[in-house]
Chain A
Amino acid sequence: MRLIGRAHIEAVLRPAAPIVIALAAGGLILALLGRDPFAFYAQVVRRAITSQSGLQETLVLMAPLLLIAASLIVSFRAGLWNLGVDGQFLLAAVFVAAQAPGWVERMPYWVAVPALFLLAAAVGAIWSIVPALLRAYQGVNEIISTLMMTFLGLSTSALLVKTVFDDPDTAVPQTLVLPVAERLPRIADSLVHIGVPIAVIAILVVHYVMTRTSFGTRVGIVGHNPAAAHHFGLNVPRLTVGVLALSSALAGLAGAVEILGVRGVVRADWHPSYGLMVVPLVFLARFHGVVSILFVAFFAVLVIGGESASRRADLPNHFLLIMVALILLILALVERTAGRRAEAL
C-alpha cells in the first residue's frame, strides 16, 4: 500500500486555497477589530511551531485530536453521524482520571496502563449504546440522540467529579492527581509522550481497516446504501451497533490519552469540546486517515498558537471558533464551485 500518492498531494493542496481565503478573512476581522493581523499570525507561528516547547505542545495536543478523528472516520464512513464524541471523550477521561492513581499503585505499570485504556474504551462505547440501539432497531436519527448524550455526558461528568470521584483533600472539585512520574513515558526528554505515536498509528490502522479490509467494505456499503447492504445479506443493525461502539471507544481512548499523557486530573469545569471542531476537519479530509493527520496538525497549531496570540491581542479564546467555521464554510463553497466547473467542462 502506497501511503503517499498523487491523490494525497491533491487532497492536501485542494483545501489550501480555502484555508488561505479563511485566514485572509480572519485577518480582515482582526483588522476591523483594530488588531494587527500580521502580528497575530506571526505569534501563532512563533508560539506553536518555531518555539521548541510550543512545537512539543502542538504535537501533544494532536494525540487526543487524532484519536477523535479516527473515531469520526469509523462512523462517518458507515454513514453514521456520531456527534456525541465530546460526551464519550469527557466521561472516559473522568473515569480514567479517577481510577488511574489507584490502579497504577496496585498493579504493575504495564498492566495498569493498558487496563486504563480498556476502561476508557468501555466507558466511551457504553455512552453510545442507547443512540446505537435506537438507530439500529428503531430508526431514530443518531445525530440528535448522540448530541443529547453529549450534553447529558457533560453534566454527568461534572456531577461525578463533584461527588464520587472528588478528591476530598482539594478545595476545588477535582479527581485525584496522577503523579507526573506515573504518566505516559515521554520521548527523549521532551513533553511528547508515547500517546502521540500511538495515536498516529491508531488513525493509520483505522484508515487501513476502513479502506482495505472486508470489514471496512461492509461498513462502507452500509454507509452508502443500507437497503443494498440488507440485500447483500449484511446484518445492518448489528453493524450499526458495532460501528458506533468502535467509534465511541476510540473517542474514549482520546480521553484516556489526554489524562494519562498530559493532565493527570479532571476538574469539574473542564470540558474541551474538541469533538465538534474535529468533525469539519475530517470532512475536509473526505474521511481520509492520512490527510486527516495533516489537518489535525494544522488545527493543533491554530489552537496552541491561537491561544497565545488571542491573549496577546486581548481577544477571547473562542475567537478560534470563527476561524474554524470560516475555513469549513469557505472550503464547502469552493468544493462546490470546483465541482460545478468540472461538470460544465
Chain B
Amino acid sequence: MSAVEALLSATFVTAFVSGAVTAAVPLLLVGLGEQISEKAGVLNLGLEGMMLVGAYCGFALALASGSFWGGFGAGMAGGAFVAALMALLCVRFALNQIVVGIGLTLAAQGATSLAHHIQFSSTFPRLPRQPELALPLLSDIPVLGESLFTQHPFAYLSAAAIVLLAWLYRYSNVGLNLAAAGEKPAALDLAGVSVVATRCWAVLATGAFAGAGGAYLANVGAGLFVPFMTNGAGFMGIVLAMLARGRPSWVLAGALVVGLSTSLTTAVQVAGFQVPTDVVQMIPFALIIIFLVAFGRSARLPEALGRPYERGAH
C-alpha cells in the first residue's frame, strides 16, 4: 500500500479524527473553564496547576476504584481545591494574580511529582482502556461517524457544556453578573450583588473544568499519570479563552484546530513519514503564536481583568 493510499484509508481517517478529538477535549475543557474566570475579571495563571492536580487526582482515584466517572469527579474536586486557594488568595485577599497563579502552578507541579514519586514511580501503573459510547445512528454515518461519535461519554458532556455555558452567558442572571464582575465590578456591587462571591464561584468553576480536563488527559488520553504531563496545556487554555472573546463555541474551534494539528503529525508518523517528536510538540504552540499574530488585535479582555476588587478603591 502506498503512502498516499495509507493516508486516505478509512482506518486512517478514523484514527486521525478520534485522535484529534482526544487531544482537543482537555483543551476545550480548560479553555471553557478559563473563560468563566476571565469573564469575571480573574486572570488565572494557576490553570496549569489546577489541570495537573486534576490529572493526578483523576488518575489516582480511577486507578484505586476502577471507576472512570469517579476519576472525573476526583479530577474536578482536585482542580476546584487548587481554585479555592486561588479564590481565597486573589479574590478574598486581593493578592497579585500573577504571583499567586505562578505560585500555585509551582506548588502543584511539586506536589504531584512528589505524589507520583511515592505512589507510582516503582510500578508505573496504567489504566485499562476507557469504555466508549457509540451514539446510536450518528456513529453509523460513513467515514466521520465512527470517529466522531464513538468517544468516552465525558467527551459528549464537554460538548454539552458548550451549549449550557453559551446559554448561561446570554440568557441568565449568572452570565450577566459574571460579565459585570469583569467589566465594571463597582456597578455590580451597587446592584447589590457581591463581586467577591461572584468571582469566587467563577474561579471554583474554572478549577472544576480544568480538573476535568486534566483527568481526561490522564485517564482517557494517556491512561497514566506522569509529572508535568499537562506540558503547557493549561497556559494554552488561557490563550484559547482570550482569543474566543467570551464565546464558548470559539473555544471549541480553537481546541479542535490545535487537536487536529497534534493528531495530524502523529497520524503522518503512523503513515510512515519521519516526524521528530519535537516537531509534534512544537506545532500547537506555533499555531497559537500564529493565531495571536493573525487575530491578536481583536482579542478583547474584560476591562477589570487582573485587578482585585476592593470596595471604594476605584
Contacts and interface: CB of A to CB of B under 8 A. Distances in A.
- B and A form one assembly: yes
Interface of A: 33, 81, 83, 130, 134, 138-141, 143-145, 147-149, 151-152, 155-156, 158-159, 162-163, 276-277, 279-280, 283, 315-316, 318-326, 328-329, 332-333, 336
Contacts of B293: 130, 134
16 contacts: A139-B296, A141-B242, A144-B292, A145-B289, A145-B296, A149-B285, A149-B289, A155-B285, A162-B278, A276-B102, A276-B105, A276-B106, A316-B113, A316-B121, A325-B104, A336-B94
A114 B115 CA distance: 45
B96 A332 contact: yes
Interface in B90-128: 93-96, 98-100, 102-107, 109-111, 113-114, 116-118, 121
Contacts of B113: 316, 318-319, 321
Nearest to B299: A140
A303 to B, nearest CB: 13
A152 B110 CA distance: 23
Given A141-B242, A318-B110, A325-B103, 8 more contacts: A134-B293, A140-B296, A155-B281, A276-B105, A319-B114, A325-B107, A328-B106, A336-B95
Given A328-B99, A329-B103, A332-B95, A318 B109 contact: yes
B110 A155 contact: no
Given A33-B118, A147-B232, A139 B238 contact: no
Contact of A319 (B95, B110, B282): B110
Contact of B98 (A81, A149, A163, A333): A81
Nearest to B235: A147
B6 interface: no
A159 B285 CA distance: 14
A149 B293 CA distance: 13
A6 B182 CA distance: 41
A280 B102 contact: yes
Nearest to A134: B296
A140 B292 contact: yes
Nearest to B280: A155
A168 B107 CA distance: 39
B84 interface: no
Interface in B243-281: 276, 278-279, 281
A316 B114 contact: yes
Given A159-B276, A276-B106, A329 B89 contact: yes
A101 B141 CA distance: 60
Contacts of A163: 276
Given A147-B232, A152-B282, A152-B285, A324 B95 contact: no
B286 interface: yes
Contacts of A151: 231-232, 235, 281, 285
B83 interface: no
Contacts of B51: none
A277 B106 contact: yes
A316 B117 contact: yes
A323 B113 CA distance: 13
B157 to A, nearest CB: 27
B53 interface: no
Contacts of A141: 242, 299, 301
A276 B282 CA distance: 20
Contacts of A145: 289, 292, 296
B114 A322 contact: yes
A318 B114 contact: yes
Nearest to A149: B289
Nearest to A140: B296
A30 to B, nearest CB: 11
B278 A158 contact: yes
Given A145-B289, A155-B285, A318-B110, A329 B100 contact: yes
A148 B278 contact: no
A130 B289 CA distance: 8
A1 B286 CA distance: 46
Interface string B220-233: 00000001000110
A163 B274 CA distance: 13
Among all A-B residue pairs, the 10 with the closest Cβ atoms: A321-B110, A325-B107, A322-B110, A318-B113, A140-B296, A159-B278, A316-B117, A155-B282, A328-B103, A325-B106
A322 B111 CA distance: 6
A315 B110 CA distance: 11
B239 interface: yes
A319 B227 CA distance: 12
Given A147-B235, A277-B106, A329-B89, A152 B117 contact: no
A138 to B, nearest CB: 5
A315 B289 contact: no
Nearest to B283: A155
B314 interface: no
Contact of B276 (A130, A139, A162, A277): A162
Contacts of B238: 144
Contacts of B227: 316, 318
B129 interface: no
Contacts of A315: 114, 117
Q: Pick the most buried of B43, B107, B110: most chain A CB atoms within 10 A of its CB.
A: B110
Contacts of A332: 89, 95-96, 99-100, 103
B311 to A, nearest CB: 14
A111 to B, nearest CB: 33
Contacts of A276: 102, 105-106
Contacts of A320: 110
B303 to A, nearest CB: 13
